[in-house]
Structure 1
Amino acid sequence: MKIFITYMLFISISFSLEFETDIGDCNLFFDEKTNLYIQDYIIFIQNDINKLVKEFGQVKKFPFEIFITNNINKFKKLAKGPMPEWGVGIAKKNPSRIVIKGTKLGKISYNRLYEILSHELNHIYLFRTPNYNILPKWFIEGFASYWADELTVTKKIHISSALLEKKQFSLETLKSFNSFNRIHASLAYAQSAVAIYTIIHFYGKNKLIEIIQSNKSKDTFETHFYEITSDSMLELTYKYEKYLNKNFKWMFLLKSSNILFTCLPLILVIGYFIKKRRNKLILEQWSKEELEISNNEEPI
C-alpha cells in the first residue's frame, strides 16, 4: 500500500531506479529533466554511503527512498510537515526517505545539489545509529554539514563577522533550526559544523565515532559525552568557543571591501616611500648631470 501511494504521488515522474548501497536498497525517483544525471547520482550515493560506513561504522540495513523533483506540490506532499522557506532538502526517519528540490525548483547548482544529497544521506545514516535519540540538534546538523563539506569560506567569514559583532550562537541555543530565517540558519549550520571540528580537534576522530556508535547505556547526551571524553558540556562549550575565536576571529578580513579598507594605510605608506625614493633618485641624477657639465666647462 505504501509503495502504491508513493507511486501515485509521483505519477508524473517517469523514472525510478533501485540499486544496492551499504545501508540497504535505495529507490531513486526523479523528474524527466534530471534523468541525464541519473548514473552520476547513483555512483555518488553509493560512494558517499560506502565512505560513511567505512569511516564511522556499519548501521542497520533496510530500504530507503530518494526523491529529486522540480514540482513544488510533490515536494511538499513527500516532505510531509512544515518546511522553512529556505529549505531545499529533508530527510525523514519514518518512512526512511530523502526529498530534495531539483536545481530548477531549488535555484541551486548541481554541485550544491550533491552537497545537499550528501548532507541528507548523512541523516539517513545517523537515524540508524544506536544513540540518535539523545543527540542534540547541533550535533545532528553539524555532523551532516561536516560530512558534506559545507563549511565554505563564505560561511567562515559569516562566523567571523558574527564573532566581531558578538552575534554568534551558543551551543545551547542551537536546538531548532526551522525557526531561523535564511541568514541565521546559514550561521547555525556553519557553527554546528565547527562544533564537530572542535570535537575532532580536542578529542580525536575516534571519540567522535564512539559518540555515534557506542552502545553504553545512557539517558542524556551530557552523560554520554562525559562517559566517552571525561569532559562536561561546560568544558566542551569552553573548548568550542576557544576553537571559534582561534580559527575564525579574523576571517572577516577576507571580505574584499575589508581587505581594501585594512590595507589602505599600508598602501599609502608604501606609496609614500616609493615616491620619496624616486624623488631622491631624480635629485641624485640632476646633481650628477650638473657635476658632469661643470667638469666639462672650459675656464674663461
Structure 2
Amino acid sequence: MKKITAIVFLFTFFAFGYQDPQQENIANFYNLKTNYEVKTTILSKNDPLPEVLKSLPKYVSGAAIPEQGEIYLFKDRTNSYPFGSLEQVYIHELSHIYIYRSLGFRVPRWFDEGVAMKLSKEWGFADEFYLALSLPKIALSDFNLSKLEKDFVGLEGASRNSYALSRAFVKDLFHSDSDLKSFIEEIKLNRSFEVAFAKRFNLTPDSAFKAWAKKLPWWGPILFLITSTNAIWLFVLFLFLIASFVTIHKRLKWKKKWEEEEDNNQNGYLQ
C-alpha cells in the first residue's frame, strides 16, 4: 500500500468530522446506541489484497466483513454504478456492518444491499437506467431472488442490474424509513428474516418478488428515461453529432468537386 497517500487520505477521511457523523446516523437507523469500532482500510490498485478479498470481482468498489467489523474500500474503482464517491461506498459498507450488529446474524443479500443502497444515496437517474435494463428480463423469464443473488458476483452488467432490482424492491416494499426501521425491529424480535417477512407480508420473499415483478410496468422506467433531462440532453448531443457528420461529409464532397474542377481547368490551360 502507498502508506503516505493512505495515511493522508485516512486523516482527511476521519479527522474532518466524516466518520463519526456517518457512524452515528447509521447506528441510529439500526437503533444501536453505541458507535462500534469499525476498521476501515483504503486500498489502491497496486496494493496486495488480503486473502479474504481475492475472490471478489475486479469491479467491486468496497467490501465489508460484518463479523469482524472490517471495511475495505478500493479508491480506484469508485464513481461507477451502483456506487459513486468513496464516501457513498463507505456508508454502504457501514450499513452492512451495522445491520449485522443490530440483528446478530446476516440477512439475505438482496435485502442487505437494497437497504445499504437506500442509506448511501438518493434514488436517481442511474437507478432508473439499470432498473429499465433489468425489467424486460424479469418480465419475460422465470427470474427469482436466487438468480438475483447469484448475479451479485457475476458479470459487471448483471451485478449492476441486481443492485438496481434490490434497491427498487426494497423501495417498493417499504415506503418510508420508519416502515423499514420497524421491519428491522421485527426481524430482531423474531430472530429470523423469513419469519418476520412472512408475518408482515403473508408471503415468502421469493413469492413477493415474483408478484412485484409481474406487476411492474416494464415500460414505465423506459418512459422515465426518455423524458428525463439527461435523456433529452443525450438526444440533443446525438442530433448535434449527426449534423456535424452531415456537414463534414458535405464539405468533403465540395472539396473533392472543387479539386476536380481545378484539375479540369488546369488541363484546359495546358491544351
Q: TM-score if structure 2 supplies the norm length?
A: 0.68
> Whole-Å Cα distance in 1 between the matches of residues 53 and 151 of structure 2?
17
Which position in structure 2 is the counterpart of 1:157?
129
Deviation at 1:150, TM superposition (A): 6.0
User: Is 1:185 aligned to residue 164 of structure 2?
Assistant: no
Deviation at 1:127, TM superposition (A): 1.6
Q: In the TM superposition, what whole-angstrom CA distance separates every residue of 1:42-68 from its partner, at most 9, and x where no partner exists?
A: 522222222223333116654220011
> Whole-Å Cα distance in 2 between the matches of residues 97 and 155 of structure 1?
27
> Whole-Å Cα distance in 2 between the matches of residues 248 and 163 of structure 1?
9
Sort the Cα spacing of 1:244 and 1:195 in 2 relative to 1 into closer, same or farther, 3 A.
Answer: farther
1:253 aligns with one of 226, 246, 266: 226
Map residues 10-29 of structure 1 onto 2, 5 A cutoff.
13-14=3-4
Deviation at 1:230, TM superposition (A): 3.8
Deviation at 1:79, TM superposition (A): 4.9
1:106 aligns with one of 77, 97, 100: 77
Deviation at 1:156, TM superposition (A): 0.8
Which position in structure 2 is the counterpart of 1:238?
211
Sort the Cα spacing of 1:82 and 1:232 in 2 relative to 1 into closer, same or farther, 3 A.
Answer: closer
Task: Answer yes or no: is the 8 Å Cα contact 2:145–2:209 preserved in 1.
Answer: no
Instruction: Provide the secondary structure at the position in 2 that maps to 1:157.
Output: helix
Task: Answer yes or no: is the 8 Å Cα contact 1:160–1:250 preserved in 2.
Answer: no
> Whole-Å Cα distance in 2 between the matches of residues 128 and 85 of structure 1?
28
Q: In the TM superposition, what whole-angstrom CA distance separates every residue of 1:70-104 from its partner, at most 9, and x where no partner exists?
A: 25334x127544110111211112321101112xx
RMSD across aligned C-alpha pairs, in angstroms? 3.6
Sort the Cα spacing of 1:257 and 1:184 in 2 relative to 1 into closer, same or farther, 3 A.
Answer: farther
Deviation at 1:124, TM superposition (A): 1.0
> Whole-Å Cα distance in 1 between the matches of residues 218 and 104 of structure 2?
30
Instruction: Provide the secondary structure at the position in 2 that maps to 1:43.
Output: coil
Structure 2: stretches of 5+ with no match in the other structure:
240-271
Deviation at 1:39, TM superposition (A): 4.5
User: Is 1:217 aligned to residue 190 of structure 2?
Assistant: yes
Sort the Cα spacing of 1:164 and 1:93 in 2 relative to 1 into closer, same or farther, 3 A.
Answer: closer
Which position in structure 2 is the counterpart of 1:124?
97
Deviation at 1:128, TM superposition (A): 0.6
Instruction: Provide the secondary structure at the position in 2 that maps to 1:128.
Output: helix
User: Is 1:34 aligned to residue 9 of structure 2?
Assistant: yes
Instruction: Provide the secondary structure at the position in 1 that maps to 2:174.
Output: helix
User: Is 1:174 aligned to residue 157 of structure 2?
Assistant: no
Which position in structure 2 is the counterpart of 1:96?
69
Task: Answer yes or no: is the 8 Å Cα contact 1:164–1:249 preserved in 2.
Answer: no
Structure 1: stretches of 5+ with no match in the other structure:
1-9, 15-29, 265-300
> Whole-Å Cα distance in 2 between the matches of residues 240 and 73 of structure 1?
41
Sort the Cα spacing of 1:212 and 1:48 in 2 relative to 1 into closer, same or farther, 3 A.
Answer: same
> Whole-Å Cα distance in 2 between the matches of residues 244 and 147 of structure 1?
26
Q: TM-score if structure 1 supplies the norm length?
A: 0.63
Which position in structure 1 is the counterpart of 2:264?
none
Map residues 45-60 of structure 1 onto 2, 5 A cutoff.
45-58=19-32
Runs of 4+ with deviation above 6 angstroms: none
User: Is 1:144 aligned to residue 116 of structure 2?
Assistant: yes
